Amino acid sequence: MARESKTKYILLGMLAIKNCSGYDIKQMIDVNVGYFWQESNGQIYPTLKKLEECKLIERIEEDRDSTREKKIYTITLEGKRIFQNWVEEDEYILSIRNEFLLKLTFGTNLTVRKNIERLKKYKRGVSEKKTILESMKSRLGLEEQTDQHIYWYIQLDSGILMSQAMSEWCDLSISRLEKLGG
């Protein structure tokens, strides 16, 4: 059985938070959940069109300037119902796709030294991501608190702790490879 795309649900979820354009949705995804979930413009815009055709969202046209029209979308009652049903489902697939881990699985195709260098670089990236997430969490603390903020805190805590764990894993892996490499 093919897995169902979750793109429609994240778009409906973002529109349940506020009315916005496809561009705004992409920015919200990148900023708020981008460390664990990505959607490309190639996924977002066709899905918005399908959601509109299915009457799960409606488009509101607004003038952006004299040359372009900005398409703002809002979620419909049926869209809210579909989204709510999905949120309430207890079934989900625990799946983390990490190309670095996949490549490291085949580490015997590189030298031990090269794998250590890559782990150090990966650790720097993980540390940078952790700093960004901590900054986002700090900025949330300065804004008006809403129920949505609490859930953003929860998922940011997850990212911060996962980053911390991955950093420790990098240290452990480097240590193991240094022993292997003599």
Of the three residues 88, 110, 137, the one that is the final residue of a domain is 88
Q: What is the CATH number of the domain that holds 82?
A: 1.10.10.10
In a domain, 93, yes or no: no
The whole-number pLDDT of residue 1 equals 43
Kindly give the parts of the chain with pLDDT less than 70: 1-3, 62-68, 142-144, 182
The whole-number pLDDT of residue 35 equals 76
Q: Which domain holds residue 170?
A: 99-180
Look over the chain and give the mean of its residue pLDDT values, rounded to a whole number: 87
Same domain? 52 vs 103: no
Same domain? 82 vs 106: no
Same domain? 46 vs 76: yes
Same domain? 27 vs 63: yes
In a domain, 138, yes or no: yes
Same domain? 11 vs 63: yes
In a domain, 58, yes or no: yes
Same domain? 12 vs 82: yes
Q: How many CB atoms within 10 Å of residue 45?
A: 15
Same domain? 62 vs 116: no
Residue 127 burial (C-beta neighbours within 10 Å; 0-12, 13-18, 19+): middle
In a domain, 2, yes or no: no
For residue 145, give both structure tokens: 């608190």
Same domain? 132 vs 112: yes
Of the three residues 65, 88, 111, the one that is the final residue of a domain is 88
For residue 9, give both structure tokens: 């649900």
Residue 106 to residue 158: CA distance in whole angstroms: 28
The whole-number pLDDT of residue 60 equals 85
Tell me the helices (H) and strands (E) count for the chain, helix number first.
Answer: 7, 2
**Which CA distances in Å does 171 have to 30, 123, 161, 175?**
28, 8, 16, 6
**Which CA distances in Å does 34 have to 12, 40, 114, 146?**
16, 11, 28, 21
- How many structural domains does the chain have? 2
The whole-number pLDDT of residue 89 equals 87
The whole-number pLDDT of residue 14 equals 92
**Which CA distances in Å does 66 have to 7, 20, 35, 69?**
32, 20, 36, 8
The whole-number pLDDT of residue 21 equals 93
Same domain? 118 vs 171: yes
The whole-number pLDDT of residue 115 equals 95
The whole-number pLDDT of residue 66 equals 55
In a domain, 108, yes or no: yes
The whole-number pLDDT of residue 68 equals 67
Of the three residues 88, 116, 138, the one that is the final residue of a domain is 88
